[in-house]
């Protein structure tokens, strides 16, 4: 009798030990994404012009997104083939291009609402599911892959309707490089044009 009760207690305790921290990270990463969404909405709906909005967007992205990690992922096998100077330049341009790309989409975020659905874990990262609703459009499922490896959460990927943005970007770069004799400098000069620098 006693042993059964002890076993039950132990079982309950270990269940709580398993569940409690999971709840905590789920709330943390979901809160992180919701908070980020609200900050984005504040910028989108503010009165300033495009340049002003982009200036305020930059620190938000640098804070919330693991841009360096994504950059390295996107260069794929070419990362190791690139010289250190090329790597540094690629990273610098990647930051600028990403900011331009997100900045260019700000207009589309007008009137957008989103709500978090489920949060799960996948290969060590947290995946926060959201449903994004644009006016007069069908809702879209967007998942935010958040790494909690460092002390603060960072977005490492965004997946819209199953399409991973970092994987798509990597395929774009690799297709470009394949058609340009695997020349990383050709990629850098194309990115320089995109960055407008």
Partner 1 sequence: MRLRHVLLLAALSLSACGGRPAAGGADDLAQADQVNDPLEGTNRFLYRVNDGLDTYVLRPVAVGYRNVVPGAVRRPIRNVLNNLSSPVVFANDVLQGKPRRAGDTMMRFLINSTAGGAGLFDVATDWGYPRHGTDLGVTLALWGVGDGPFLFLPVLGPSNVRDAGGFAGDTAFNPLTYATFGGSTAVNVGRFVIGAIDARERLIEPIDDVKRTALDPYATFRSAYGQNRRSTIEDTRNDRRATVPAWFNR
Per-residue DSSP letters for 115-127?
A: EEEEEEEETTEEE
State how far the Cα of 94 lies from the Cα of 194, in Å rounded to an integer: 10
**Binding status of residue 185 toward partner 1 by CB under 8 A:** no
| Min dist. Cβ of residue 79 to partner 1 (A) | 9
Pick out residues in 83-122 that bind partner 1 (CB under 8 A): 97, 101, 104-105, 108
127 in Cβ contact with 121 (< 8 Å): yes
Question: CB-wise, 34 or 96, nearer to partner 1?
Answer: 96
187 binds partner 1 (CB under 8 A): yes
Looking only at the bridges linking them, the beta strands covering 163-164 and 113-122 are unpaired
Residue 47's SS3 state is: coil
Does 175 interact with partner 1 (rule: CB under 8 A)? yes
* Minimal distance, residue 4 CB to partner 1, in Å: 31
| Closer Cβ to partner 1, 34 or 167, answer by number | 167
8 CB-near residues (< 8 Å, 6+ apart): none
Q: Given the complex with partner 1, which of 74 and 153 has the nearer CB atom?
A: 74
**Counting contacts by CB under 8 A, is residue 196 touching partner 1?**
no
- Kindly state the smallest distance separating residue 160's Cβ from partner 1, in Å: 9
70-100 burial: b if 16+ Cβ within 10 Å, else e: bbbbbbbebeeebeeebbebbebbbbbbbbe
Nearest-angstrom CA–CA distance, 66 and 70: 6
Helix H or strand E segment including 43: helix 2-45
Does the footprint of partner 1 cover residue 195 (CB under 8 A)? no
Alpha-carbon distance of 57 to 73, in angstroms, equals: 23
12 binds partner 1 (CB under 8 A): no
Query: Minimum Å distance from CB 67 to partner 1?
Result: 15
Nearest CA to 197 out of 50, 90, 62, 93 is that of 93
Query: Per-residue string for binding with partner 1, 121-140, x by CB under 8 A?
Result: --------------xxxx--
| Residue number, 148 or 164, with CB nearest to partner 1 | 164
Binding residues vs partner 1 (CB under 8 A)? 76-77, 97, 101, 104-105, 108, 135-138, 161-164, 167-168, 170-176, 179, 187, 190-191, 194
């Amino acid at each position: 009798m006693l042993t059964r009760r002890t076993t039950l207690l132990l079982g309950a305790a270990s269940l709580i030990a398993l569940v409690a921290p999971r709840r905590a990270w789920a709330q943390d990463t979901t809160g992180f994404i919701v908070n980020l969404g609200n900050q984005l909405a504040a910028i989108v709906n503010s009165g300033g012009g495009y340049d002003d909005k982009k200036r305020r967007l930059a620190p938000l992205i640098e804070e919330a997104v693991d841009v360096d990690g994504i950059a390295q992922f996107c260069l794929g096998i070419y990362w190791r083939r690139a010289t250190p100077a090329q790597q540094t330049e690629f990273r610098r341009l990647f930051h600028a291009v990403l900011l331009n790309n997100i900045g260019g989409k700000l207009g589309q975020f007008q009137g957008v609402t989103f709500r978090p659905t489920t949060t799960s874990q996948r290969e060590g990262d947290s995946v926060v599911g959201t449903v994004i609703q644009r006016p007069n459009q069908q809702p879209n499922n967007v998942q935010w892959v958040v790494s909690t490896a460092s002390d603060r959460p960072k977005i490492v990927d965004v997946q819209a309707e199953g399409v991973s943005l970092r994987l798509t970007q990597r395929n774009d770069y690799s297709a470009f490089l394949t058609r340009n004799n695997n020349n990383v400098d050709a990629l850098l000069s194309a990115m320089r044009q995109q960055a407008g620098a």
